[in-house]
Amino acid sequence: MQEHCRRLARGGSRRALSILSWLALLAGLLAGCTDDGNAPGAGSGGSQSSGPPPVNVLTTTVVEEDYAPAIELVGEMRALQSVTLASEISGRVSSVRARVGDSLADGAVLVEIDDSEYRARLAITEAALREAELALAEAQSGARPEEIAAQQAAVRQAEAARDDTADMLARLERLSAGNVVSESEIVSARNALREAEAVLEEEQRVLERLQAGTRREQLDSAEARVDSAKRQRELAAIDVQRCLVRTDFAASLTMLHVELGQYVNAGTPLAQLVSSGPAEAWLSLPEQERDLIGNGTAVELRSDAIPAEVFSGSVAGISAAADPSTRQFPLRVSTGDTRLLPGMSVRARLLLSEPEPRLRFSQDAAYDSRLGLVVYRVLPASGEEPPGFESIPVVLGERVDGMVVLEEGALKAGDRLVTRGKESLFEGAKLRIQQLSQPEPGDQAK
């Protein structure tokens, strides 16, 4: 056991000597590196700082831009007019003249419904109207002279027939006294006389009506039949027109609900349309800010669909009543720009004053330190030394698309501020700037 301990002690001593030798060699190398006369690569202009290496950073530039305080809202674009076309009649779809995405002029035919049945009904009503008009014309003109003459002849003929029947009855009655004729023959003659007298009376009444002319109630009845026939024809014509489903304004087709050959009933949705031309932005204005905004207030609109563009507009109208569920006032903004399409989401800034020059910079430059909100301004480089930095307390205002407005702080346009690498900075640190140019506003925030 003692021998084993001695071997371990000798091995440990050898390892300790080896470690001490390596430490001595490393100390010599470090001493050589700090010797200016013997340093590797030393020479004229080859001086190298003995401090810590510079910190890699990214920067942005303070810019002066026109800015106005504003109320920021989020909303959506809506067409000035949006409608779902529905069929007003029943029938089979015989033609579809447009597809989704097509533009349609005002009054353009979109869908056709088979009109054969409705045209047949129209023909029937037109025939009924002609018949009623003829009857009215006859009632208004009264009886013609030839009609009266013909009826007078009919009366005379009826009188002659009655007289002949009366003479026949008289002869039979005289002969009955001598039992020459039977009683049945006399009865038949009497019946024939009554019939002849009835015919004569009817013909005389007709003649009297012709000679007296048409009565007022007959004319009224004929006129009423004509009016009714006209209404029936108009309704039938409307049904024929309804077979052609037309647009009520210039529009774009956004959805089609029917196909060729499909049977539809009255009320069946056929298509959805939105009006052509610029859309409007619809926003919801909080009630506490209602008095700050009025018609004509300038508005800036931004959309993720067109991120590089700021659209100008103005308030076109504000609802007179707030939404009971949200206590916010619906508000419309007109832009006049057709690139903002219905359904797009938008961010809006309702400007509260005229724009004026203000200092702005990327929001990434702000740093919440233990002393408050600060920015790190890049100091000018001294000779060949890397630039340093200084801490500037700031008070910031509104943030818009990744840029913030400077409310308070000793900054000026053109100052460079650190945006990336702030967490690695320490007092006296030097900077190695990886990005010197100013990016587009808000790019670093994205």
Rounded average pLDDT over 387-398 = 90
Q: pLDDT per residue over 192-238, tens digit each?
A: 989 999 999 998 888 777 666 556 777 788 889 999 999 999 999 99
Q: pLDDT per residue over 86-110, tens digit each?
A: 999 999 999 999 999 999 999 999 9
- Is 73 a residue whose pLDDT tops 90? yes
Confidence at residue 422, expressed as pLDDT on a 0 to 100 scale: 85
Q: pLDDT per residue over 168-195, tens digit each?
A: 888 888 887 777 778 888 888 889 989 9
130 by DSSP, 3-state: which? Answer: helix
- Is 25 a residue whose pLDDT tops 60? no
Confidence at residue 50, expressed as pLDDT on a 0 to 100 scale: 60
Confidence at residue 38, expressed as pLDDT on a 0 to 100 scale: 37
Q: Does the global pTM surpass 0.95? A: no
- Cα separation, 441 vs 420, whole angstroms: 16
List of long-range contacts for 199-207, beta carbons under 8 Å, 24+ apart: 199/158, 199/161, 199/162, 200/155, 200/158, 200/159, 200/161, 200/162, 203/151, 203/154, 203/155, 203/157, 203/158, 204/155, 204/158, 206/151, 206/154, 207/148, 207/151, 207/152, 207/154, 207/155
Residue % of the chain over a pLDDT of 90 = 52
Which tokens go with 185? 């023959």
